[in-house]
Structure 1
């Protein structure tokens, strides 16, 4: 075997040790169950019926081979540790096969966590495996007319990423049950063996789980009374499942090289050839399993290039999607399965558990469109558990990932879904997509139990809602949440006379920004000083002095010095993220800023303000899709596609379209150009609607797909009342606007107990205790700040926090203490306040991620500690406004006045981009 390159060498060493030590554990399990008193690894049989592995152990598991590798002593230590295990206690908890399968993930997490992450290795709970296999068996019978389901000899099954073999063993168990139900006890063993050796196949790229899979299948066959003979083997192959599906062209190299491995070792070459026969010649009818979740650079050899290109076709041209993430491994496995079933066998089933992003994310619109064209029925079981967005179960608690195993593994952090796609020989006129959102318990075990209980249902489809994937919703597979009249309401850009702008873009690694105005002014004065050479600036790191894509730093500074001098007026506040305002030196001199947006910056004048919206959401959990700022808006104030719309087009003219002006005139309101309070009414009204939780809950799917739409009331009094609420929202969203009863004046009890700066043992918070070291953020690649997990303590409200507890319907049933470090914390940040998300950003957590001490270089100031307190109180006040905002939304929706002469149902796609 030749392992080429750094990753190849690492993979060789890792998989060699994995295979030896996990093979050792597997051998111990078998010996222990057979009652042997002492386990001797040298005398243990490695009879796995895997020709290349048997040869490997014959060559390696000998003292003269192990000594140069330094493995003989560690193997002896491992065997001694296994001999100390309480076997009775161990096998009381774990069945023999379950033990071997269950421990691989924690073993790899401890031994090689980077490889575990790269390859997306996660233990798949047995309930999930059983549910998927049973559903495949049912659908084979009900949709493809195969009465014996998986037991039918014509049904060829492939798990293309079989890991430790859980799905293969469960398929064999389902076949055995069917044969037993048919009364064929005497023939079951031989039929089962033939199935395991021929038509129930698995591919695996990592040697250690591959060995375990062989052990598991062999163990299952022995338990069924059909042990493999000395020359027999299961149809489990060491191969890259993403390559080798087409016969190699003459003169081409081996198509199954992966991770820098070349198959010069004859048993491995035989393994590759056997796998190729499955890929190219077998009539595969079922593809199922749990594909890996992370992309790994070593899994894209030349033969695999272009695999997912059909899922990218037309993304930019037809859908305006320029950024996408379609190279995740699970997407490649979907493409392989689609190509094999739809383009190969012509009928069959795909059943995968995977990341659920592809079900509705804009990036996957072409993928969904292709699958709709190729399959007749699609069932989706949403398994929830998105820990990255703190998804909640129906009891309000954070939803565990369905992969979580108490005491062993937290499981993957993405939300997941089981997808079943069936293609019949007689194609349906339209594809039916059914979506099950009911398995939503917070506890992972309870959610897995809900799935198994569904198997007993005689009317299985009643657990699902039928969805309507169409071009207008980008073929989303999720059920649409939208009010009946939503599409008749105008998108926000219809209110404006100016097309939506894009926010300013620095992209100079923060060289033009600072938290401190005077520091930035001093820095920029030196950057403008022609007596200071460019080379000196570069050494000092002052100003944008590093070349980047399309940016020549020396030329840009030269151009700047010729065009203008330093000006205090160019020191401007910049809204970087929600509640993240910094000082910036803004100039329109070409290329100093990546995108300076002169037409936008000209409208950031005193007395004006911006409602910031976005064209579409990046993810389902973006929170509120609008923001308000009176200062210069950045391009990422919402994530993504932040588009500011000013209240005033200029100091003497409102930014209102002809139809919006007609609406105001019909309500007998004054001229908005001469009365700025009238000019602000539609925009403040939009904020009142946009921060109504009911509006977001009822229309979330549609809101995330396009510009937000708002109903327009048909009477002036209701509009004024709605705008008054929106003005309160705007004040709460602007951290520089004092709000009586929230940040100034006498505070009500429900506010004054929120986010109180505290420390263990009481007393004053010294500078050392203001250091943010609880792990809220760290520097990632290219200096980007990555959010960390941080430290919070979740608890019930204390008696002295009864005022907050009384508002639990708005604030949540629990509260948090959010820590700066080991001793200092903000006491009592209610659940919904902590999770408050605007435009994809969890507000408080985002702010903290940039202030971790190694990033900030100092402790927080007392003002910054109070700033977090005040932002939490502003968000609390917004949450407490929910009943008013919801009532206002419903009143406005009930009295909506259409804008005359405007085709509201059509999407607004135009966005103004300054050159």
Structure 2
């Protein structure tokens, strides 16, 4: 050892003495030392100097046996550098937390890291001696170095990985690989050449047009890692990067091409090195034992997919939500597949169900083939049980493989799917041979254009898959099933999908029409959700085929939301039977079971889900087409839902046949007799001329503040162009969008010296006015068509078009001035609509531009925002004048009737409220007087607020540290010492829209000083008085409906 170290010191001293002190000039000395030292111990190793074009690349050296086993890595830095600082750098932290065995050195000091922890050090000489004193340094601490070197070379990867630890090791290396791929791609893009660039361009052009270099790097790295994991499951011997391709079926198109590419070292060496490291981890892991863990833990029959979820949780926990990578629970899959099997037997006269020779099946969003795999198992089981084992291979080869199809857009699930189906078929006793392949195609289901055949690298395989997928898209398919992605901001926007959604298909009308007329939705963007497009694709396929089944689990929003009424009617026009099993579990709506107990989602997501099965039988005559719609609910704990679905199919559910009513076509049970009564009332939008959503800024945290001075300071900085854009963007988390550019807004604001006069109050949340800057340069949707009327002493009714939160409807309030759209709920679907009491002429427009339908009498003075016919009808019935104020107060009182809210809850959820008008003038005025009292309380102008119902007590600071209500003491604590006393539970729990009023007000001031405890007291008093008034309204309300006025709208 001493001789080797002296030789090493001589070499680096000569370099130092010659004045050549670049890091690379010392590399050969390190290479020799770490090659010769193990030779002295009788062990052959190879030290490879790794290429590193940027700091984001690999460590400088890889120490390995030249074949499969990797000892570790060495990162070298220029002599004399402060290694303590290097140790904390992002680069080194990434190395030591990715690779388990790393040495850091400045060629004189060596530090060893094991699994990210600094475990040993050895300084063999002083750089100062060589550099400053120009003298060959004295060798020292030989034993320390030998101890460190022995520890480094004795490292071995553990063979006792469990699923969690293996996923952790793979995730670390995959993140590292992702970064290297991204940096390599960044080098290739400007010169438009290189293998990664060709891959990226092929994927971007032909599969995912929105693909960025970052997302491609992620896709590539994940595909490599999980593709190798899946290949490892088929290898029982030595596993390396070089032989991985042998375990990837040659029939898997681009996946086979990719693994041939990496196995034969055609990729960049810095990428190859990391893939080698991934292979080394997989080589020592007992994969079969790890997969068996899932069986023993009762996690089901799909271990490959379960491990993928474990891996994703380690790799990037947020990715599941971003990508829609949610493993469909096996009980859900089994229920859907068994239901299809049952319907084929009962409705299609196919006694063998999925095993019938005429069955063709497609999963258009296959992910990892969960649904097709279950269908294969059930089909094979049915065949064997009925006809015996003898013909099983022929059945799989001649029936399953040619007629079961799947599409997938993302490369990693595609790789897993191919491996999984091979794994499954082997477990069923079937060995793939020759050109046997499952027809899983890498394609965008919602894109009909096929890829032109080209000789470009990787495009040939993509093109071939595209053509095969195109044939499936064009040919009839009997069964379409699966779990399509739910994504409100769909990336699948193209002419074909737009035409598919908006054009009438023969027998299947556009989703943008209802009863032959346009939907009339102001913002029908929910129809652009991906799951809607997949359902439309499936509907289109079945309609073209003339018969078939669609069975999918999706977001359940489409069952009741008004925006989907055209979609629901269209489905009824296409199919003969529709079965809806609503699984609920919508935490956004705070759903509970009917008995008030907990209701959980079958996925780890917030939106509720439903299983929908659509059946179209072949008919010659469609003239008397009728669709039967069946509905079922499944509430409760997740485990109970799984248990029911595990044992059920469509024939075992207790169905409630419903008759979706014209106009809304709700796929939910309704009391239609009561609904007919409710429909005779008058909708808010038929009463008020002008209305719109409230202001939507898209950047509330920047343009709105509780404290005016903070807002002023932000805007002043924003308008100062001497402050760089990136500083402003990063400081205030500002993002550009389709309608707004930060740079343009800053330039515009810098020229506007009057902006401080645009800072004004905004009605932001119940009883919570804040300060905002009212400038079009900073606000995406200022809603001037309505807000221009909210001036002087004008007030406005606020309500919603639909509601999802709360067990009762409580979505009405009143406001003044500027009003924000989330005034009554933070839910997008519960946006607050503003109905001003009066309209004001626009002084900037000629008089002739003002009149519109219902506004013929507009003059330069304010006019009621109520259709003339409405007020005339009331006045003719009463024989007395009805003021606009009395009209609004009456409406407000009706909306605060607990009887009205409970009686019409199901209908209030789906559209703007409808108002019954009593023919009794005295009753009308009494209701209006109560409504006026509510108005004064809610605008905080009532004299009733002068008698507070709670008091603020305690000593110390007024910081809101928490909100803790003690029901026994009737105290609401905001910190350890300060509290509001005499607060009744019903006041504390009182809800307006989606907000628990007092809790919301205090929550928005968490960790801040409560500037006005008196305001909180006034809120509590207003709520207490509101509850009292609601009781008075409920005494009157039953008489309201006894004799109603019919108003011609």
2:536 paired with 1:335: yes
Q: How does 1:47-196 map to 2 (within 5 A)?
A: 47-48=248-249, 50-52=251-253, 53-61=255-263, 68-69=270-271, 70-77=274-281, 79-80=283-284, 90-94=294-298, 97-112=301-316, 116-196=320-400
* Residue 204 of structure 1: how far off its partner (Å): 1.4
* Residue 287 of structure 1: how far off its partner (Å): 0.7
* Residue 709 of structure 1: how far off its partner (Å): 1.8
Cα distance in 1 for residues equivalent to 2:781 and 2:573 = 45
* Residue 369 of structure 1: how far off its partner (Å): 3.7
* Residue 134 of structure 1: how far off its partner (Å): 1.5
| Corresponding residue of 1:863 | 1011
| Corresponding residue of 2:991 | 836
Query: Contact 2:584 / 2:635 at 8 angstroms: preserved in 1?
Result: yes
2:207 paired with 1:7: no
2:475 paired with 1:289: no
2:447 paired with 1:253: no
Cα distance in 2 for residues equivalent to 1:419 and 1:825 = 50
Query: Contact 1:382 / 1:435 at 8 angstroms: preserved in 2?
Result: no
Q: 2:768 aligns with which of 575, 580, 586?
A: 580
Query: Contact 1:172 / 1:196 at 8 angstroms: preserved in 2?
Result: yes
Query: Contact 2:219 / 2:411 at 8 angstroms: preserved in 1?
Result: yes
* Residue 156 of structure 1: how far off its partner (Å): 0.3
* Residue 648 of structure 1: how far off its partner (Å): 11
Distance 1:263 1:361, change over 3 A: farther
* Residue 147 of structure 1: how far off its partner (Å): 2.9
Segments of structure 1 that go 5 or more residues without pairing to the other structure are 256-260, 404-410, 528-532, 674-678, 773-791, 805-816, 853-858, 909-915
Distance 1:631 1:457, change over 3 A: same
| Corresponding residue of 2:660 | 468
- Comparing 480-489 with 116-125, greater Cα deviation is found at 480-489
Query: Contact 2:561 / 2:910 at 8 angstroms: preserved in 1?
Result: no
Distance 1:309 1:865, change over 3 A: farther
- Comparing 648-657 with 326-335, greater Cα deviation is found at 648-657
* Residue 313 of structure 1: how far off its partner (Å): 5.0
Q: 1:490 aligns with which of 675, 682, 685?
A: 682
Q: What CA deviation, in whole Å up to 9, does each residue of 1:153-207 have, x standing for no partner?
A: 1110000111111111111122134324534443244313433311111111222
Q: Which of 1 and 2 has higher RCO (CA within 8 Å, sep 6+)?
A: 1
| Corresponding residue of 2:815 | 629
Query: Contact 1:492 / 1:708 at 8 angstroms: preserved in 2?
Result: yes
* Residue 291 of structure 1: how far off its partner (Å): 0.7
Q: 2:968 aligns with which of 800, 804, 810?
A: 800
Cα distance in 1 for residues equivalent to 2:713 and 2:299 = 70
Query: Contact 1:439 / 1:451 at 8 angstroms: preserved in 2?
Result: no
| Corresponding residue of 1:360 | 560
Q: 1:349 aligns with which of 539, 549, 559?
A: 549
Q: What CA deviation, in whole Å up to 9, does each residue of 1:889-911 have, x standing for no partner?
A: 44433x23224xx33xxxx6xxx
Q: What CA deviation, in whole Å up to 9, does each residue of 1:202-244 have, x standing for no partner?
A: 1112222222222332233223222322432222222222234
2:609 paired with 1:416: yes
Q: 1:393 aligns with which of 571, 588, 593?
A: 593
Distance 1:105 1:896, change over 3 A: farther
* Residue 393 of structure 1: how far off its partner (Å): 2.7
Between structure 1 and structure 2, the one with the greater Rg is: 2
Query: Contact 1:119 / 1:293 at 8 angstroms: preserved in 2?
Result: no
State the SS of the aligned residue for 1:215. helix
| Corresponding residue of 2:119 | none
Distance 1:468 1:115, change over 3 A: same
Query: Contact 1:713 / 1:719 at 8 angstroms: preserved in 2?
Result: yes
Q: What CA deviation, in whole Å up to 9, does each residue of 1:615-661 have, x standing for no partner?
A: x3386879434222355556665654723242899999997966657
Query: Contact 1:636 / 1:642 at 8 angstroms: preserved in 2?
Result: no
Cα distance in 2 for residues equivalent to 1:361 and 1:273 = 38
Cα distance in 2 for residues equivalent to 1:42 and 1:831 = 70
2:638 paired with 1:444: yes
| Corresponding residue of 1:434 | 629
Q: What CA deviation, in whole Å up to 9, does each residue of 1:107-146 have, x standing for no partner?
A: 2343245654443111100011111112212222333333
- Comparing 863-872 with 700-709, greater Cα deviation is found at 863-872
Distance 1:500 1:613, change over 3 A: farther
Cα distance in 2 for residues equivalent to 1:229 and 1:156 = 22
Q: How does 1:558-707 map to 2 (within 5 A)?
A: 573-582=761-770, 601=789, 604-605=792-793, 609-613=795-799, 616-617=801-802, 623-629=809-815, 631=817, 633=819, 637=823, 639-640=830-831, 642-646=833-837, 663=874, 672=882, 680-707=885-912
| Corresponding residue of 2:157 | none
Q: 2:669 aligns with which of 458, 461, 479?
A: 479
Query: Contact 2:339 / 2:650 at 8 angstroms: preserved in 1?
Result: no
* Residue 682 of structure 1: how far off its partner (Å): 4.5
- Comparing 635-644 with 133-142, greater Cα deviation is found at 635-644
Cα distance in 2 for residues equivalent to 1:559 and 1:875 = 42
Cα distance in 2 for residues equivalent to 1:652 and 1:115 = 53
| Corresponding residue of 1:676 | none
State the SS of the aligned residue for 2:904. helix
Cα distance in 1 for residues equivalent to 2:863 and 2:531 = 55
Cα distance in 1 for residues equivalent to 2:462 and 2:864 = 76
| Corresponding residue of 2:430 | 226
State the SS of the aligned residue for 1:241. coil
Cα distance in 2 for residues equivalent to 1:178 and 1:829 = 63
Q: What CA deviation, in whole Å up to 9, does each residue of 1:330-351 have, x standing for no partner?
A: 22212221222112x1211111
- Comparing 134-143 with 635-644, greater Cα deviation is found at 635-644
| Corresponding residue of 2:917 | 712
State the SS of the aligned residue for 1:387. coil
Segments of structure 2 that go 5 or more residues without pairing to the other structure are 1-197, 205-209, 504-509, 729-735, 825-829, 841-860
Cα distance in 2 for residues equivalent to 1:254 and 1:332 = 28
State the SS of the aligned residue for 2:549. strand
Cα distance in 2 for residues equivalent to 1:381 and 1:422 = 14
* Residue 576 of structure 1: how far off its partner (Å): 3.9
Query: Contact 1:238 / 1:271 at 8 angstroms: preserved in 2?
Result: yes
* Residue 389 of structure 1: how far off its partner (Å): 2.8
State the SS of the aligned residue for 1:860. coil
| Corresponding residue of 2:956 | 764
Query: Contact 2:838 / 2:864 at 8 angstroms: preserved in 1?
Result: no
| Corresponding residue of 1:777 | none
Cα distance in 1 for residues equivalent to 2:756 and 2:473 = 67
- Comparing 503-512 with 620-629, greater Cα deviation is found at 503-512
State the SS of the aligned residue for 2:394. helix
- Comparing 825-834 with 145-154, greater Cα deviation is found at 825-834
Distance 1:599 1:46, change over 3 A: closer
- Comparing 38-47 with 710-719, greater Cα deviation is found at 38-47
| Corresponding residue of 1:814 | none
Distance 1:507 1:164, change over 3 A: closer
Q: What CA deviation, in whole Å up to 9, does each residue of 1:713-759 have, x standing for no partner?
A: 4546654554455345434533454755xx85344xxxx7xxx99xx
Query: Contact 1:833 / 1:876 at 8 angstroms: preserved in 2?
Result: no
- Comparing 202-211 with 68-77, greater Cα deviation is found at 68-77
